Amino acid sequence: MPKNKNGGYISMKRFITFILVVAVLAMTLAGCGRSGNQADSVSKPSPAGSDKLSIVTTIFPPYDFARQITDGKADVTMLLPPASESHSFEPTPQDIIKIKNCDVFIYVGGESDEWVNKVLKSIDTSKMKIITLMDCVEVVQEETVEGMEEEEEEETVASDEPEEPEYDEHVWTSPKNAKLIVQKISTALCQADPKNAAAYKQNTKAYLSKLDELDAAFQDVVDNAQRKTIVFGDRFPFRYFADAYGLKYFAAFPGCSTETEASAATVKFLIDKIKAEKIPVVFHIELSNQKMAQSISESTGAKVVLLHACHNISKADFEKGVGYLDLMQQNVQNLKEALQ
């Protein structure tokens, strides 16, 4: 089995992705397509011969940010199909070709995007604008707080190289960070598409104003709250959000964990915490099976409520055009309920 940069073994899934990248790049000139059993990435195609700017993103937040900035003047594609789990996403051959042919490519840049680095190293990116969300903000390391399930260590071999820190990838969950990301994306799009730069700048200004209002709404909820602690019977991808508004949190797993079944000790800790502090809400994230949150609710009486991390959205919400602001405005109301 191949080894990763820290001397550990690469998972079979990532190894298969590497082989896929090599195979696709070898077949690109022959016009290879996707296999029939792969889920489609999503976009709104332009008529044949369109000279619109082509933007490709890996996940929903930058897709929606680019969509708000361009307002129909560019083709925006999200590789992650709606209702799919982002941490286990693997690109299809057609996805890799879309990246190769786009004008602007936007991705997160964390450990979940190791496959992206392989693709970018294998294609000509000299005429492509590339934006990494984690380069737009000040990142923090993923942390394990009291009561949280410890991640299982990957099998490693001896290495002289120090292990690299694992940074939290969920930078967009803070509206303060979202504003920085939108500004960086807007600058890149204006450079890539000068003829529409004036419109992009105007749209960006309007959208940033709405993000300011969202930021102020969250701050108002926290400033007037009876408590500052939130509990998740789920993963916790809200580190940047919690830091931005001074919230304390307890959860079953870190944000990028692949675990779904917590130990009895972890569940008991969360139950005891809710009972001791009389916390009225136990949160879950989108596309979760909610089993742990429901179990905690049955033992405590706490209400099960969604706090949307905006990693991805349901097919129904995508078809309705639901955006980052819509989801986060729902979060304002749900956070208010949890902190009352």
Q: How far apart are the first and last CA of the chain?
A: 52
Which residues of the chain fall short of a pLDDT of 50? 1-10, 13, 26-39, 47-48, 156-158
Q: Starting at the edge strand that comes first in sequence, how are the strands of the sheet with 303-306 ordered?
A: 248-254, 229-236, 281-284, 303-306
Task: Report pLDDT for 199.
Answer: 98
Task: Report pLDDT for 232.
Answer: 97
Task: Report pLDDT for 8.
Answer: 44
Task: Report pLDDT for 261.
Answer: 80
208: Cα within 13 Å, side-chain hemisphere: 15
Task: Report pLDDT for 17.
Answer: 53
Going along the chain from its start, the domains and CATH numbers come out as 12-33+50-147+167-213 (3.40.50.1980), 222-338 (3.40.50.1980)
Q: Which helix (H) or strand (E) holds 210?
A: helix 197-223
Task: Report pLDDT for 320.
Answer: 97
Task: Report pLDDT for 149.
Answer: 85
For 198-249, how does the pLDDT look when each residue is reduced to its tens digit (9 = 90+)? 999 999 999 999 999 999 999 999 999 999 999 999 999 999 999 999 999 9
Q: How far apart are CA 184 and CA 312, in angstroms?
A: 21
| Burial group, residue 10, by CB count within 10 angstroms (0-12, 13-18, 19+) | middle
Angle (deg, nearest 10), helices 264-277 and 291-300: 50
Q: How far apart are CA 194 and CA 179, in angstroms?
A: 22
